[in-house]
Chain A
Amino acid sequence: MEIFSEHFNKDNFLSKIDVKVKLLVVLSLLVMVLSCTKIFFPILIAMGCFLLCLKMKIAPRVLLLRMAQPLFFALVILLLKLFFSGKDTMFSISLPTSDFSLLTLTGHRDGLIEGLKITSRILGGVSLVMAFGFATPFAEILAGLSWLRLPKQFIEITMFAYRYIFMFLEDAHTIYNAQKNRLGYSGMRKGMKSFGTLAGSLVIRGFDQSQKTSEAMIQRGYTGDMPMIDGRPLRFGEVFFAAIFVFFAGAVWMI
């Protein structure tokens, strides 16, 4: 899972900023991107975030891989909007069909503009969260979310989940390779059975591991609650610069 952000170096200029400040800036910009009715602002945010990611030495290939799913969605929506919504005709294409007749596909200007607006929102939003993910270790993000009053129990189970994801990924990989070597995926029927066995094995492993983990934790004084990182208090300088940055972004958003 090489595109997982935790595998990247988190020692950069953005990682030194308090996670609470980063969270507030990201959420403010996200609200602006989502409520923006123009294309320019989200694209500007996307470009800024890409540059930040490159500055954090994230390989462009990784960024493109990460963007694959959102781009797929964006493309589908753009085509849907271009060809199937709007009234102002821009162009028509005639395509031959299997029964030798011609199909006419009409692109609409207003549909295209609407599609581009959604596409720009996707690019802006995804790149914001992506840059935040690359700049912040997961434990700090959880501390930030806890500061934003996300329920403590939710944070706790997220911490448990995150702790064991890598172990299960490795287990799943090992089981999958073993199944593949024994031709477990050589046919549709076999493949489905193998996949079910893989899921079942992970569930059994999960149950057993949860028992072991809780026993080990109880031995170390676990009473049902986990301590959270308190984090340092907010620094005036960071908050001040963040507020100025958000204010200027708001001004650009209003243009």
Chain B
Amino acid sequence: MKNEKSSRISRDKILLLVTCYLSLVTDAHAMHISEGILPFNWAALWFAVALPFVAYGLYRLKKLSAVDLSFKPLVGLMAAIVFVISCMPIPVPTAGTCSHPGGTAIPAILVGPSISVLVTAVALLIQALFLAHGGLSTWGADIVSMGVMGAFTGFAVFRLLRRFNLSLAVSGFFAGILSDWAIYLTTSVQLASGIRGDEPFTPLFTKIVIAFVPTQLPLGILEGAMTAGMVVLLYKKRPDLLVKMKVLKPEEAI
């Protein structure tokens, strides 16, 4: 029993070392599940999960763009911004490498989570087709992790903290962190369920979570800082935009 336990600890240590090494030799883009990783049945399942969220996002888009003709261009431009932000390399000190933020908390706070699912889906499609980040077959899985989990978590955390009268910076910071970590955990669930074969789910899930700790833990904090910085800048320079997007009440924007 003791031997088994110590061997398990040793395995986890080795795994951590291997991961650190891999993180050192290449840039980490750990958020996207690459093309081909998920077998057909799992890829199809994640498409089915993503579909109602995308459909609801399209319904909201249709409704909102009927009232405001500038809304569709705004959503498209937001997708372009998410694409650019998720392409920006930011240094991750613990891994000694660069990684890329998800950037989904920003549109979730500004245009709401349902539209944010669309924004993410567009950014992911372009990345899959032209940069090989993510993939066509894993598009559904990536929409669920980044678009659905990332956006809804970021939005819920931001709104909840604002309700407790916390500042924009603090709310934005925690929205960014938790959104990033929600993406990371969902990606780990998707990877573990997709590649486990006949193995039990939980041990593999734990190993994958440990494997991405060196990049994703600090990256979450950096993403939180980025989201907070973005909200604060908007408050200082263009509070009217925050009012328009119903992030602030008109009386708060002084």
Contact = CB atoms under 8 A, between A and B. Distances in A.
Given A66-B131, A129-B132, A129-B135, A153 B61 contact: yes
Contacts of B238: 204, 207
A34 B43 contact: yes
A133 B130 contact: yes
A27 B228 CA distance: 41
Interface stretch (A210-218, A227-235, A246-254): A210-218
Contact of A196 (B34, B74, B76, B230): B230
B166 interface: no
Interface in A163-193: 163-165, 167-169, 172, 176, 188, 191-193
B199 to A, nearest CB: 5
A119 B80 CA distance: 31
A105 interface: yes
B116 to A, nearest CB: 12
B132 A126 contact: yes
Contacts of A73: 33-34, 37
A129 to B, nearest CB: 6
A70 to B, nearest CB: 4
A60 interface: no
Contact of B75 (A31, A141, A157, A176): A157
B229 A195 contact: yes
A97 B7 CA distance: 13
Contact of B229 (A6, A81, A85, A200): A200
Interface stretch (B62-70, B149-157, B177-185): B62-70
Interface residues of A, number: 95
Interface string A145-156: 000000101101
Interface string B200-243: 00011001100100000000001001111111111001100100
A167 B32 CA distance: 24
B39 interface: yes
Contact of A201 (B79, B211, B233): B233
A156 B132 contact: no
Contact of A79 (B18, B37, B118): B18
A203 B35 contact: no
Contacts of A85: 196-197, 199, 204
A168 B80 contact: yes
Interface in B24-65: 26-29, 32-40, 43, 54, 58, 61-62, 65
Nearest to A75: B22
A152 B164 CA distance: 40
A72 B232 CA distance: 36
B125 interface: yes
A42 B137 CA distance: 14
A195 B130 contact: no
B230 to A, nearest CB: 4
Contact of A3 (B72, B131, B227): B131
Given A192-B229, A196-B230, A80 B211 contact: yes
10 contacts: A31-B40, A66-B131, A66-B132, A83-B11, A133-B130, A158-B122, A192-B229, A199-B227, A200-B230, A213-B73
Interface of A: 1, 3-6, 27, 30-31, 33-35, 42, 66-77, 79-81, 83-85, 95, 97, 103-105, 114, 118, 121-126, 128-130, 132-133, 138, 141, 151, 153-154, 156-165, 167-169, 172, 176, 188, 191-193, 195-204, 206-207, 209-211, 213-215, 217-218, 222-224
